[in-house]
Amino acid sequence: MSGTAGQVIRCKAAVAWEAGKPLVIEEVEVAPPQKNEVRLKILFTSLCHTDVYFWEAKGQTPLFPRIFGHEAGGIVESVGEGVTDLQPGDHVLPVFTGECKECPHCHSEESNMCDLLRINTDRGVMINDGQSRFSIKGKPIYHFVGTSTFSEYTVTHVGCVAKINPAAPLDKVCVLSCGISTGFGATVNVAKPKKGQSVAIFGLGAVGLAAAEGARVSGASRIIGVDLNPSRFNEAKKFGVTEFVNPKDYDKPVQQVIADMTNGGVDRSVECTGSVQAMISAFECVHDGWGVAVLVGVPNKDDAFKTHPMNLLNERTLKGTFFGNYKPRSDLPSVVEKYMNKELEVEKFITHTVPFSEINKAFDLMLAGESIRCIIRMDG
């Protein structure tokens, strides 16, 4: 164990004191890990749209003060009681969802939705004792999705940590701990296009581009990108997108446009927007008889998905996925190996890098739609 094991660590963290206000770099106290917990030294973290969404707190219960961040790479500093499969010095990716390895979901080959550790955006404390491991002058600061990586040190449940190849560059593979794996896995693990098939991707943000990358790696012959923002189309070519459709350019439903382009519909579609209308279009644009549509985007709580039952009876398949169907501890190390073996390109997702002291610039870039992924260097 390190010299700091068992002790409170004082370090810098970017604290969100209230919704929508710039984060403030503060000195926080990080308590030692308790039973089944690990304390991590975060070296690189990146900003995901989910951080921005909950920081804005427009559509959910606000919980502040809070330390956001959930896409990151780091090193184990110390481990709590009962932790046997991680040790100080291990290179790891913390993950917003988990794998306890004991519940029915973890025992299932088909599911990655752990009963104990699946994402909970409302919880701001640790499962073990209902307390936060972060404090400033004795006052607790809340956690975010069990990771809180906008801090030089953080504490997570052992089930939310994937041990990876120590040779993998953490400033690159940190982006695999959320959005990129979500999109890539939605295509390769769930939609499963065959070589030569056509794929439509709805939404060309980071997750949609990762879904396109999954289609490219799978050998899709046509990858049709659908987005309301035409400025995204050029960038998307790097991820294998071959054609672009902006629904605003047509006076008929986009599913009809795609069906006309593809002689009856695409073989696979992946929806990465969260718009219920895009979800319906993604389903209705796949070919009858064999078409598969996969929903990735998170809808608003009052949304309802409506389509005519004949669309299902005509042998179209509708699927949903969570985190690309990857089990964090079991599967994420192999995704990192895909990068190491040059089967998956990660660098093209990383458009900006900022030092930790300028973390608010990462928010500005994302809000302006200028970045795909912005890496935040914790040493800066």
Active site residues: 48-50, 70-71, 100, 103, 106, 114, 118, 178, 373
Which of 122, 127, 117, 123 lies closest to 162, judged by CA?
117
Sheet strand arrangement including 292-295: 243-245, 222-226, 198-202, 268-271, 292-295, 317-320
Query: Amino acid letter at 23?
Result: L
Give residues with Cβ within 8 angstroms of 304, minimum separation 6.
276
* Cα Rg, the chain, nearest whole Å: 21
Residue listed under structure tokens 């080959």 = 109
Sheet strand arrangement including 24-30: 9-15, 24-30, 134-136, 139-141
Secondary structure of the chain: what % helix, strand, coil (to 5)? 30, 25, 45
Q: With both helix axes pointing from N to C terminus, report the angle between 254-261 and 276-284 in degrees, rounded to the nearest 10.
A: 30
Phi first, then psi: what are they for 378, rounded to 5°? -70, -15
Do residues 221 and 196 make contact, with C-beta atoms less than 8 angstroms apart? yes
Dig out the tokens for 286 from the structure. Answer: 């796949």
Sign of CA dihedral 119, 123, 124, 127: negative
d(CA 282, CA 285): 5
Phi first, then psi: what are they for 5, rounded to 5°? -60, 135
Dig out the tokens for 140 from the structure. Answer: 């607790």
End-to-end CA distance of the chain: 26
DSSP-derived pairing of the beta strands 9-15 and 373-377: unpaired
Q: How many residues does the chain have?
A: 380
Do residues 40 and 88 make contact, with C-beta atoms less than 8 angstroms apart? no
